Structure 1
Amino acid sequence: MISKIVLQSLSKDKLSVFLFHKVPQQCDPLVPADVNMARFEQLLDHTFSKLHVLPLEEAIGRLQAGTLPRRAACITFDDGYPDWLAGVAPAL
């Protein structure tokens, strides 16, 4: 499971950045690796809840200042798909 891998690899002086392309309600059968909304909510509940999630700008500043908290992470999205507003934003 991703949460065990992620949690084991985190340390005090590193920042993990999770990048999502889009989060559809259902995955396209041709792109089975996509994270759908149900899986994203599982990640929020089981993985991201164990991390210290920060806004990207704050995380960079704290990384540079040496004050990054243990298990620091950012969640980013590379495009503004409609599914982001409909599903992801309310879940965050």
Structure 2
Amino acid sequence: MKKLLVMMIVALCAIAWRSPDIMHAISVGGFVADSNALALKAASAPASRSKPMSADEFATLSRTDPQAYQKFINSFQDQDRSEVDKLMNLLARGKYE
């Protein structure tokens, strides 16, 4: 059972690591982006994200909006996670996002 689990994890990692090559080989994915282009896109993404909500903005919003606390907490979290982050979360915690 342990061997099967280890083999499954290794297979998932290999598929995730080589997925652009696999998709190109079977020609199902159409255009598969180059890994360098993905790295450049990921590096430029944090500049386009909005800044977290300040305490003053939270205070003014909390007077009118009952969901202000949730919006305040969510403003500090990164919403866009890469495929690698999702895979690492699956392997570390056993949960898929």
Higher relative contact order (CA 8 A, sep 6+): 1
Which structure's residues are more often strand, by fraction?
A: 1
Q: Normalized against structure 2, the TM-score is what?
A: 0.29
Q: Normalized against structure 1, the TM-score is what?
A: 0.30
The structure with the largest alpha-carbon Rg is 2
